[in-house]
Structure 1
Amino acid sequence: MNLLDHVLLGVRDLQAATDRIRREWGWGTVPGGSPVPGVSTAVVPLEPPLYLELVAATDPGASAAAAGLAALTSGGDRLFTWAIEPDDLDTRAAAFGLEPLSGGGNTGRWRLLGEVGPERPFFIEYDVARTDRLEGWQRAYTQAEHDCTPGRVTYLELGGDESRLRKWVGDIDVPLRFVGGEPRLAAAGITTSRGEIVVR
């Protein structure tokens, strides 16, 4: 079974977005990093080890990824994409004839499969097992000092071709709702101590 790892929310201004999320939803954040040149992040810890990652293009000229993110968020903050932790990254890579890419940052090393873009999710495999990451994510959850405590992701709403997306995603631990139209992550439901919040 593949597992949802995190959801990415594209934002125009990282500080303004963290302030708005605290004000509107009662969620705190912890510092993120810079996964690629020209992109900075902040993290809303959800039920460990799930998280919502805020991604902002701080220098659109620094990389193609930053330029694409800047274009995506030019009309305002919006969901960007989502990441799946597969049960076996190499098996999925072989099935699609793709080669995983290696990367790393302040939280450790990882391997990615698929483009990080709005059309479909990407797969991520860490150098630390999921169970061994729980303690660190629990600390982050406490550090965020949420006013309204978030929990798990209840569903993802997706645009695009359902059969093609299901073939790419495989079996996953979160319900998927398909709404047609352009390929995109349209919405994510998240439980909280005050009821479900829908992020779009």
Structure 2
Amino acid sequence: MNLLDHVLLGARDLEATVSRLRRELGLGAVPGGSPAPGVINAVVPLEPPLYLELVTATDAGASDAAARLAAATAAGDRLFTWAIEPDDIGARAASLGIEPMSGGGDTGRWRLLGEVEQDLPFFIEYDVARPGRVEGWRRTYAEAAHECAPGRVTYLEVGGDESGVRQWVGDVDVQLRMVGGEPRLAAMGIATDQGEIVLR
């Protein structure tokens, strides 16, 4: 079974988005870094090791990723894409006919399969297995000091051709609500102790 790893929310202004999510939804965030040239991030930890990654383009000319993100957020914040941790990235790569790419600097802390773009999710595999990452994410969760105790992702609302999306994604541990139309991540639900939060 493939597992939802994280969701990316594109933000025009990272600091403003962090403030808005706390003020309006009670979600806390912790500072991140620069996952790609011209891109900075912050992290909203959910049920460990799930998380919401807030990403902002600071220099659209620095990389293709920054250019795509800048274009997507030109009109404001929007859900950008999502990442899946496959049960076997080698087998997934073979079935899709593409090669994984190493990331995380010189140490190659993870491998990516697919492009980080709006049309489809991408796959990610870490050097540290999922159970080994949970304790670190528990500490990050505490650091975020949420006001609403966010937990699991309840669903993802996904646009595009349903058969194509499901063939790409395979079996995944989150409910997908297919809405057709433009290929995109249209919405997500997050369970909290104060009821479900919906982000669009």
For each residue in 1:106-136, what CA deviation from the matched residue of structure 2 results, as whole angstroms up to 9, or x when unmatched?
x970000001000000000000000000000
* Aligned 8 A contact 2:162 2:178 in 1: yes
**2:104 counterpart SS class:** strand
Amino acid at match of 1:162: E
Residue 99 of structure 1: aligned partner: 99
Residue 150 of structure 2: aligned partner: 150
* Aligned 8 A contact 2:155 2:188 in 1: yes
Amino acid at match of 2:70: A
For each residue in 1:128-152, what CA deviation from the matched residue of structure 2 results, as whole angstroms up to 9, or x when unmatched?
0000000000000000000111010
Shift of 1:61: 1.4
Alignment of 1:99-178 (within 5 A): 99-104=99-104, 109-178=109-178
**1:150 counterpart SS class:** coil
Q: Provide the rounded CA distance (Å) in 1 between the counterparts of 2:175 and 2:159.
A: 14
**2:152 counterpart SS class:** strand
**1:36 counterpart SS class:** coil
Q: Provide the rounded CA distance (Å) in 2 between the counterparts of 1:179 and 1:97.
A: 27
Tell me: CA distance 1:134–1:108, structure 2 relative to 1, closer, same or farther (3 Å): farther
Runs of 4+ with >2 A deviation = none
Q: Provide the rounded CA distance (Å) in 2 between the counterparts of 1:155 and 1:174.
A: 6
Shift of 1:185: 0.3
Shift of 1:59: 1.0
**2:141 counterpart SS class:** helix
Q: Provide the rounded CA distance (Å) in 2 between the counterparts of 1:99 and 1:14.
A: 32
Q: Provide the rounded CA distance (Å) in 1 between the counterparts of 2:96 and 2:77.
A: 32
Shift of 1:46: 0.2
Identity of aligned residues (%): 74
- Does 2:195 correspond to 1:195? yes
Q: Provide the rounded CA distance (Å) in 1 between the counterparts of 2:167 and 2:144.
A: 36
For each residue in 1:36-81, what CA deviation from the matched residue of structure 2 results, as whole angstroms up to 9, or x when unmatched?
1000000000000000000000111111111110010000000000
Unaligned runs of 5+ in 1: none
**2:143 counterpart SS class:** helix
Unaligned runs of 5+ in 2: none
> Which structure shows the bigger proportion of residues in strand conformation?
1
Alignment of 1:70-89 (within 5 A): 70-89=70-89
Q: Provide the rounded CA distance (Å) in 2 between the counterparts of 1:141 and 1:116.
A: 25
Residue 27 of structure 1: aligned partner: 27
Aligned residue pairs, count: 200
Relative to the length of structure 2, the TM-score reads 0.98
Q: Provide the rounded CA distance (Å) in 1 between the counterparts of 2:98 and 2:66.
A: 23
**1:192 counterpart SS class:** coil
Q: Provide the rounded CA distance (Å) in 1 between the counterparts of 2:152 and 2:140.
A: 15
Shift of 1:85: 0.1
**1:156 counterpart SS class:** strand
